[in-house]
Structure 1
Amino acid sequence: MEAPSRYASVLRPGLFAGQLHWVTGGGSGIGRCVAHELASLGATVVLSGRTAEKLERVAAEIAEDGGRAITRAFDIRDEEAVKANIANIAEVVAGHGAIHGLVNNAGGQFPAPLMAISKRGFEAVVANNLTGGFLMMREVFLQSMQQHGGAIVNMTADFRNGMPGMGHSGAARAGMSNLTMTAAFEWAHAGVRVNAVAPGWIASSGMDHYGGMTRTIIPKLKQHVPLRRMGVEAEVSAAICFLLSPGAAFITGVTLAIDGGAPLGSPLFPALDHDKSQPFEGFHRAVLPEVLKGSA
């Protein structure tokens, strides 16, 4: 069956018309998907990341689909670059009145047991997944949302039972969840809502970055999910866009798990095998990661 030519969002057309939404890490994976959905719903999207070519490729896709995207290449771990790039978007903000939404999606990590993680490696992962997100939140608040209100959605991960093999990432993601609650309380007076999403095992391009034993395990992960499948990028994007929307106007300070129930249950009561769960395939440009091709 031929794929649809536009993003098939579950949200109403034009929901974000006339608004400006910023997506960090927008050049690939979940960030790319979120950017496409926001643009399909009428938003002008600012795509940021470290690699200009990747951002420009996604911006061209969005333009081809009839949307609008602007790119800014910089490292969210660089405080001065964050300040400058958010200030630099002023000419765009002038046309929209504000930065209406921020999706703090950028991040990254590497698999390793705690005993093998160096101080440098630990700090790098914390900077990627926590410090950089904090800098983006703070500057968007100071330069726009403090005056105009808005909504922020932070990216965490499924850390409910710890993250063995990725303890540095688990620590950073748990920190982001706690930071989300603090910001939701401190910034409520300005009309700013702050929430987070915690994806579990999502079939995204990021899976292809892993090698070794981790790569051999990835196709088997669905057997540890009660829904007996992995999630898809569009399912994470749908949750993020809902949290940015007026439908979530009384939701703030929460971390929403998008994990198919993977942390639930017990080895004493194993989940039953089935094929009843069907994913929401809303992203017309989604591509199955190489590591999952050919898996049953």
Structure 2
Amino acid sequence: MQKPYNSIFNPKAFQNQVIIITGGGSGIGRCTAHELTSLGAQVIITGRTQEKLDKVVAEITEDGGKAYAITCDNRDESQVKAMIAEVIEKFGRLDGLVNNAGGQFPAHLEKISANGFDAVIKNNLHATFYLMREAYNQWMEQHGGSIVNMTADMWGGMPNMGHSGAARAGVDNLTKTAAVEWGKSGVRVNAVAPGWILSSGMDTYTGDMAEKVIPSMAQHVPLQRMGTESEVSSAIVYLLSEASKFISGVTIRIDGGASLGTRIFPLSTAKNNEAYNGFHRSFLPNVVQGLKENKDE
């Protein structure tokens, strides 16, 4: 058996709670699923690939946690409705929803087709809305709950990712609107905005993005490093927890300060800055493996 997830939270913080994590078959979603199950939650992970979901369920089961997988294309409103209904029927409740799933591709604005733009908006914004609405209508309106959405560092624009930036900004505003409208039902809605995180998603990029951009990211962060999946997961877990019961409508930036400052302020070499990595099954993306090897030499 693997060593347990090294969460900073009470091991019984989510005892008997039922939480859905979309995009739970890899990356931040996988890490968050591991952390929540280590804290007593029954986690339902969703995604479009059954094999990936089954692998994570097997990992969690081996570690002594409780997980269940449902394939669902979040861009399809009818599939989202059916998935939420299945969770409520099978587990009898829905305490939390983590809208982690999403995706995009690098492209300059002038080269993005209408279909490409629409696909990214639907994947990141429409799907988030479908999931939030169904969680609220089918359960949380009557029982309360917590929703955590995934957005990104988009405050300064997202060059080469304009479609994603538009969608993520929409999620930020949707989060605020839902927090106001659904507060009457005891539903808290927040979001996290990760910056550059050492996650498996980095391995989906090729060309200049993989060869030049990703290797240079850390030098543009005041903390002079990239973040870990655990550092995002812990923020999500906090927002789902009892400790944040009076927090709603906020978006927490998890970016090491990269979204702050100006280009005329030089960043110095950082110190006293060890990363937190509580995830016992984490691994570095292939695209940065060489960087670590060179640093260690």
TM-score range, shorter chain: over 0.9
Check conservation: 2:238, 2:244, Cα contact below 8 A: yes
Per the TM alignment, residue 160 of structure 1 is displaced from its structure 2 partner at its CA by 1.3
Check conservation: 2:22, 2:47, Cα contact below 8 A: yes
Within 1, Cα distance between the matches of 2:220 and 2:207?
20
**Which of 51, 54, 57 matches 2:55?**
57
The answer for the alignment partner of 2:10 in structure 1 is 12
2:281 aligns to what SS in structure 1? coil
Amino acid of the structure 1 residue aligned with 2:238: F
Do structure 1's residue 258 and structure 2's residue 257 form an aligned pair?
no
Do structure 1's residue 200 and structure 2's residue 195 form an aligned pair?
yes
The runs of 5 or more residues in structure 1 that have no matched partner are none
Check conservation: 1:28, 1:54, Cα contact below 8 A: yes
The answer for the alignment partner of 1:117 in structure 2 is 112
Check conservation: 1:104, 1:154, Cα contact below 8 A: yes
Do structure 1's residue 42 and structure 2's residue 37 form an aligned pair?
no
Within 1, Cα distance between the matches of 2:142 and 2:91?
13
Per the TM alignment, residue 161 of structure 1 is displaced from its structure 2 partner at its CA by 0.6
Q: Structure 2-normalised TM-score?
A: 0.96
> Where in structure 1 do 4 or more consecutive aligned residues deviate above 3 Å?
none
Do structure 1's residue 30 and structure 2's residue 28 form an aligned pair?
yes
Within 1, Cα distance between the matches of 2:263 and 2:48?
42
**Which of 115, 125, 150 matches 1:130?**
125
Do structure 1's residue 230 and structure 2's residue 221 form an aligned pair?
no
Do structure 1's residue 219 and structure 2's residue 219 form an aligned pair?
no
Amino acid of the structure 2 residue aligned with 1:261: G
Q: Structure 1-normalised TM-score?
A: 0.96
Within 2, Cα distance between the matches of 1:71 and 1:277?
36
2:147 aligns to what SS in structure 1? strand
**Which of 121, 126, 142 matches 1:147?**
142
- Aligned pairs for 1:40-189 (under 5 A) are 40-94=38-92, 98-189=93-184
Amino acid of the structure 2 residue aligned with 1:81: Q
Within 1, Cα distance between the matches of 2:46 and 2:98?
10
Per the TM alignment, residue 4 of structure 1 is displaced from its structure 2 partner at its CA by 6.4
The answer for the alignment partner of 1:240 in structure 2 is 236
Deviation per CA, 1:52-80, whole angstroms, max 9, x where unpaired? 11001000100000000011001001011
Count of aligned pairs between the two proteins = 291
How big is the alpha-carbon RMSD for the aligned residues of Structure 1 and Structure 2?
A: 1.1
Identity rate, percent: 58
Amino acid of the structure 1 residue aligned with 2:107: A
1:294 aligns to what SS in structure 2? helix
